[in-house]
């Protein structure tokens, strides 16, 4: 047990999928894993461990935002020995060619600030995905026929942006989408020499104002779970 995760030592697999929403963790575990067992319910941040294609997997909610993700990722890495951490979540599209329901695989995640800013101080660190996971996820997404974009995203501290000028600069510099967790996940993985990746579905679009209808969210989420599982267990 750690402060925020009630699992016993050994209850957590080396491969962890991390949706922001704990109920998504439950849905994914019950729909994609065999013998899924609840391993955490502290603060309702559900985590399940089960089997996929003979491989042990944990699906643990991260909560919203980098401070929340940082707590769970730190404990998973330092206390439970998680080696591969894949965020599966949603993002807002920031480019005209990026459509609702498309998948974004984040090569890099830019930020203004993250929980690691106090560690890195004057360094403009470039949080980057693990190459072997990135490559395997791209192959899995292409095999599925999913419309996929690969490139830089922006990890924000706010969902409700008051900075249209900032969004405009990010778009101008080719940022594909905005979400709230990946930069800290990539930074922690770099610090602890683990593998990390973020796979995102575009749920809304900053320029067009379009949003994914609720009934479509489940299917798009299922695609990401499958891509993440294939990526995690592709030998590189």
- Mark the segment that binds ligand HPA (CB under 6 A) among 5-13, 42-50, 175-183, 222-230: 175-183
Counts for the chain of helices (H) and strands (E), in that order: 7, 9
* Residue 142 to residues 35, 43, 216, Cα–Cα distance (Å): 29, 37, 20
Binding-site member from 22, 61, 65, 92 for ligand HPA (CB under 6 A) = 92
Q: Who contacts 167 (Cβ-Cβ below 8 Å, separation ≥6)?
A: 94, 161, 178, 206
CB atoms near residue 175 (< 10 Å): 20
Catalytic residue status for 204: yes
Q: Residues 41-61, buried b or exposed e (16+ Cβ, 10 A)?
A: eeeebbbbbbebeeeebbbbb
In the complex with ligand HPA, the residue whose CB is nearer, 131 or 159, is 159
Decide if residue 201 touches ligand HPA (CB under 6 A): no
- Please, what is the minimum distance in Å from the beta carbon of residue 177 to ligand HPA? 8
In the complex with ligand HPA, the residue whose CB is nearer, 47 or 92, is 92
- Please, what is the minimum distance in Å from the beta carbon of residue 202 to ligand HPA? 8
Decide if residue 178 touches ligand HPA (CB under 6 A): yes
3-state SS record for 97-155: CCCCCCEEEEEEEECCCCCCHHHHCCCCCCCECCHHHHHHHHHHHHHHCCCEEEEEEEE
Decide if residue 159 touches ligand HPA (CB under 6 A): yes
- Site size toward ligand HPA (CB under 6 A) is 10
60, HSE (Cβ side, Cα atoms, 13 Å): 34
SS3 28: helix
- Please, what is the minimum distance in Å from the beta carbon of residue 184 to ligand HPA? 14
Rg of the chain over CA atoms, in angstroms?
16
Decide if residue 180 touches ligand HPA (CB under 6 A): yes
Binding-site member from 39, 46, 91, 107 for ligand HPA (CB under 6 A) = 91
Decide if residue 90 touches ligand HPA (CB under 6 A): yes
Decide if residue 203 touches ligand HPA (CB under 6 A): yes
In the complex with ligand HPA, the residue whose CB is nearer, 83 or 148, is 148
Decide if residue 204 touches ligand HPA (CB under 6 A): yes
Decide if residue 171 touches ligand HPA (CB under 6 A): no
- Catalytic sites, residue numbers: 204
Chain contacts with ligand HPA (rule: CB under 6 A): 90-92, 156, 159, 178-180, 203-204
């Amino acid at each position: 047990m750690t402060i925020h995760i009630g699992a016993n030592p050994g209850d957590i697999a080396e491969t962890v999928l991390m949706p922001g929403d704990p109920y998504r963790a439950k849905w994914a575990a019950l729909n994609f894993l065999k013998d899924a067992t609840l391993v955490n319910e502290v603060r309702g941040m559900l985590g399940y461990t089960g089997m996929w294609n003979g491989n042990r997997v944990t699906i643990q909610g991260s909560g919203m935002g980098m401070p929340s993700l940082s707590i769970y990722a730190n404990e998973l890495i330092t206390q439970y020995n998680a080696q591969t951490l894949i965020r599966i979540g949603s993002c807002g599209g920031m480019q005209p060619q990026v459509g609702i329901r498309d998948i974004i695989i984040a090569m890099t995640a830019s930020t203004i600030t993250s929980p690691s800013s106090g560690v890195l101080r004057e360094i403009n660190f470039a949080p980057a995905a693990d190459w072997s996971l990135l490559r395997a996820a791209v192959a899995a997404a292409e095999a599925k026929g999913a419309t996929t974009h690969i490139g830089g995203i922006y990890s924000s501290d706010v969902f409700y942006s008051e900075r249209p000028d900032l969004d405009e600069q990010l778009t101008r510099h080719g940022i594909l989408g905005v979400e709230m967790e990946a930069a800290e996940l990539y930074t922690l993985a770099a610090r602890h020499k683990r593998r990390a990746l973020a796979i995102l579905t575009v749920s809304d679009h900053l320029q067009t104002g379009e949003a994914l209808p609720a009934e479509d969210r489940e299917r798009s989420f299922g695609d990401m779970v499958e891509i993440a599982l294939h990526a995690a267990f592709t030998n590189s």
